[in-house]
Amino acid sequence: MNINSKIYIAGHRGMVGGSILRKLNQQGYKNLIYKTRTELNLLDQNKVNSFFDEHKPDIVFCAAAIVGGIKASMENQTKFLYENLQIQNNVINAAYENKTDRFIYFSSSCMYPTNAPQPMKEECILTGKLEPTCEGYAIAKTAGTLLLDYMFKEKQFNGVTIVPCNLYGPNDSFDPQHSHVLAALVRKFYEAKTENKPSVSIWGTGNARRELIHVDDCADISIKIAKNYDLNGWINVGCGNDHSIEELAHLIKNIIKYDGKIVFDKTKPDGALRKCTDISKLKKLNLKPNILIEDGILEMINIYKNLYENNSNTTKSYN
């Protein structure tokens, strides 16, 4: 990948794709291609094929996906499985047919088994049962990861899968139906503080642990991998340590200076009890995240404050 490469960012209005686009613009890349869902429906194989026939990108960052937090995943298993399979299959195959030089696919740590040894090494994929609350999404992401791996081994198609831990940052969704853990907690505590609510109710026991990485760190690392390393297969992108939901709740509560109580609703599921990635491969490349969790939380609070004060729609599209 060089400054003159023709680069297609699939999912540029989502959290990961948006950060990739910002970073590439900042680094001086001018030959960038991106389309909204209205302009290019990635579920339509014929339209995707026509797009690739016309543009023939050298590099593809495939960050387009149907995603959501635990509630959305539980209630939309069919949609998350079916549509993600369609999107990734269409884009991967069209890229191969049009001789794309490098394909960077974004998967998820959800594809690791629920009971995988912690921290989770890349070779743990397909060694056990998936977390039931996100099984549809996890199966789709596993399929995309393996498809790229098979295509490299059988057809020498040059692709690598980025497996990020829980992401947060600009373009995150604060919609209660779709938000991930950090955005959901920030919204709850900000509204409780602003509206003088006596308590904040949080799903689960608070014991589940989550590893978090700012989306800009993930984007920076992914671009460096595309530019500097001829990798195939999949690689974990995270920070290698995690926090319990209770720890995150108290951290946000202290930063936001909320005085009320925290109540854990134990009738609601925890999801996977732990999902921490082994980042040994990443360390060997001398790559690591740089944004501290405290700084990231403060940024998320300011993002939601702006949305709240302007009565903005807090539902963000990931496609």
Give the gyration radius of the chain's Cα atoms.
Answer: 19
Please report, in angstroms and rounded to a whole number, the separation of the first and last CA atoms in the chain: 24
From CA 304, how far away is CA 71, in angstroms rounded?
Answer: 20
Nearest to 43 by CA among 82, 9, 98: 82
Instruction: Identify whether the C-beta of residue 202 lies closer than 8 Å to the C-beta of residue 185.
Output: yes
Tokens of 16: 């990961």
Q: Which residues pair with 168 in a beta bridge?
A: 214
**Can you point out the beta strands (E) in the chain?**
7-10, 32-33, 59-62, 102-106, 159-164, 166-168, 199-203, 209-210, 212-214, 233-237, 243-244, 261-265, 274-275
Q: Which residues pair with 209 in a beta bridge?
A: 244, 274
CB atoms within 10 A of CB 93: 17
Instruction: Identify whether the C-beta of residue 24 lies closer than 8 Å to the C-beta of residue 222.
Output: no
| Known catalytic membership, residue 137 | yes
- Could you say which of 137, 168, 258, 304 is catalytic? 137
Looking at residue 123, the DSSP 8-state letter turns out to be: G
Nearest to 122 by CA among 235, 226, 230: 235
From CA 9, how far away is CA 20, in angstroms rounded?
Answer: 8
Give backbone dihedrals phi and psi of 63, rounded to 5 degrees, phi first.
-110, 5
User: Tell me, what amino acid is at 162?
Assistant: I
Q: Which residues are annotated as catalytic?
A: 137
